[in-house]
Structure 1
Amino acid sequence: MKAVGIIPARFASTRFPGKPLVMLDGKSMIERVYAQAQQAQLQEVVVATDDERIYQHVLAFGGKVVMTAPHHQSGTDRCQEACSQLPEAFDVVVNIQGDEPFIQPEQINKVIGCFAQPQAQIATLIKPVQSEEELFNPNSPKVVIGAQQQALYFSRHPIPYLRGVEQQAWLGQHPFYKHIGIYGYRRAVLAELTQLQPSALEKAESLEQLRWLEHGFTIVTAVTELETIGIDTPGDVEKALAYLQTFK
């Protein structure tokens, strides 16, 4: 099975314009993501951008990059356009977020490993919830899984609801998982996903993956104990620089 890693990287972020090009201790964020992805079990790593500045920057550090349209609403859509420009030799496409410069190769490999299961059409990572702050944070989506570690539902609210148990005791009574936003897709499935219209559950929770579940696709999960550190706003850069000192 051959896998390609695609890193969507757009310039016009609402909260942090030009984010892929922000420098972190001498290297841009997109270069750090690319370098981490190259250490995983991927046959190729490609940046998918809509901006000439990012395009030229990736070429300058020796990376592979393709230009995609500016109108895409999600990284999934950008991945599909990039995928259409690549050879047909890849079985699996891994969507690696361009704002996570500390993504671990082990995490990418876990996503790829999910496709050893024939029923896996999409794969993603989950992590045990460790604190009440995580559990009740709507910006940290939770996931319920089935007996074969397939995702049953994602929500910004803690699920399941523990009837008869005080909320401060929930973590001690049941294993909760949060979603880590990295995806893998079988190549043909990725093309199908981008043809789907937004669904009712997706609109309710503002979670793209609910569209896929609502249309009957199987999302297999793998558990990781590793945390991801994303950079969403300029204020996150200082935290990333501090983490970088422990990451080296």
Structure 2
Amino acid sequence: MGTVIIIPARFPSQRFPGKPLQPLRGATGVAKTLLQRTHDVALRVPGIDAVYIATDDERIAEHADTFGAKVLMTSDQCRNGTERCEDSLDKLPSEPDLVVNLQGDAPLTPAHFVTELIDGIGDAAVATPALLCDDETLSRFRQDRAAGRVGGTTAVMTRAGRALYFSKEVIPYVADDKPAPPVYHHVGLYAYRPAALRQYVGFEPGPLETHEGLEQLRFLENGIDVQCVTVESRQSMFWEVNNPEDVPRVEAALAKLGIE
């Protein structure tokens, strides 16, 4: 196998229980679950050898079966999607060269994000996309934080694109009397070498991962570089379903894009 996409999906969630099974209406009013819409995204990516949904929940597995998805049943001890991807490795027919983690809450992910991520990983063990925030997205980030909600994630990186930090706060901080630097929206999408996944599960979560609730910080806390691949949305805003309040935002985007 060359490259596989794995969509980790779990039922429990503090902010949004049962999120993968949340219906989202498209441009014609047809409702599909968040999980099915994310699976549809994966199927649109060219050059992928296989697409799987990885879960420990029978409700999710049974639903995935209704739309013909391949399911990998993983341990209920997986603490995040990266651990679930690692747990999936020995359940695959053969070991892939690259594993893409397409998180199950991102139905607006353009297929070209995945292609550019795969092309841009270079010699890194782990890569993830970063999208320059437009004014609308940045405003939504700030509105969420002002309302006490955790919305999207931002990233800061070196000039060569190596990640310095990821945060659920809007970073970098901008003083009122200074021109604003670019703010990058971290896209919940990863490409890993299998060896990096195996290293990852050998580390315990550190304080940064624990307090931010961001799984990718475990790589940085243990000295493993994460390559940020800058991407452009081209057609519409990119947004994940992090909270129930995000459902109408994403439905509006589906309608704007004409996605059924």
Give the alignment's TM-score, normalised by structure 2.
Answer: 0.82
Give the whole-Å Cα distance in 1 for the aligned partners of 2:215 and 2:253: 29
Residue 210 of structure 1, CA deviation: 2.2
2:206 to 174, 178, 199: 199
User: 2:247 & 2:169 partners in 1: Cα distance?
Assistant: 28
The residue aligned with 1:34 is 39
The amino acid of 1:215's aligned partner reads N
Q: Does 1:124 align with 2:128?
A: yes
Task: Give the direction of change, closer, same or farther, for the CA distance of 1:245–1:88 in structure 2 (3 Å limit).
Answer: same
Q: Confirm or deny: 8 A CA contact 2:127 2:228 kept in the other structure.
A: yes
The alpha-carbon distance between structure 1 residues 121 and 26, as it changes in their structure 2 partners (threshold 3 A), is same
SS of aligned partner of 2:61? helix
The residue number in structure 2 matching 1:148 is: 160
Q: Distance in 2 between matches of 1:26 and 1:157?
A: 32
CA 235–161 in structure 1, closer or farther in 2 if over 3 Å, else same: closer
Q: 1:167 aligns with which of 173, 176, 182?
A: 176
Determine if the alignment matches structure 1 residue 82 to structure 2 residue 88. Answer: yes
C-alpha distance in 2, partners of 1:224/1:213?
Answer: 21
Which residue in 1 is equivalent to 2:108? 102
- 8 A Cα contact 1:123 1:185, kept in partner: yes
How far residue 233 of structure 1 moved from its aligned partner, in angstroms, is 3.2
| Aligned CA distance change for structure 1 residues 57 and 168 (closer, same or farther; 3 Å) | farther
Taking a change above 3 Å as real, the CA distance of residues 245 and 101 of structure 1, as seen in their structure-2 partners, is same
Unaligned runs of 5+ in 1: none
**Structure 2: tracts of 5 or more residues without a match:** 25-29
Counterpart Cα distance in 2 of 1:64 and 1:184: 20
How far did residue 27 of structure 1 move? Answer: 2.0
- What is the aligned-residue identity percentage? 37
Q: Which residue of 1 aligns with 2:241?
A: 231
Q: 1:94 to 1:56 in 2, by over 3 A?
A: same
Structure 1 pair 236–207 and aligned structure 2 pair: CA distance change class (3 A): closer
Q: 2: distance between equivalents of 1:242 and 1:182? A: 22
Which shifted more, 122-131 or 2-11? 122-131
2:59 equivalent to 1:56: no
CA distance in structure 1 between the partners assigned to 2:41 and 2:203 by the alignment: 31
Matches within 5 A, 1:168-183: 169-171=178-180, 174-183=181-190
Moved segments of 4+, more than 6 Å: none
Contact 2:152/2:242, CA 8 A, preserved across alignment: no
TM-score after normalising by structure 1: 0.86
Give the CA RMSD over aligned residues.
2.3
- Kindly provide the CA deviation profile for residues 15-34 of structure 1, in whole angstroms up to 9, marking residues without a partner as x: 33322222222322211111
| Secondary structure, counterpart of 1:77 in structure 2 | helix
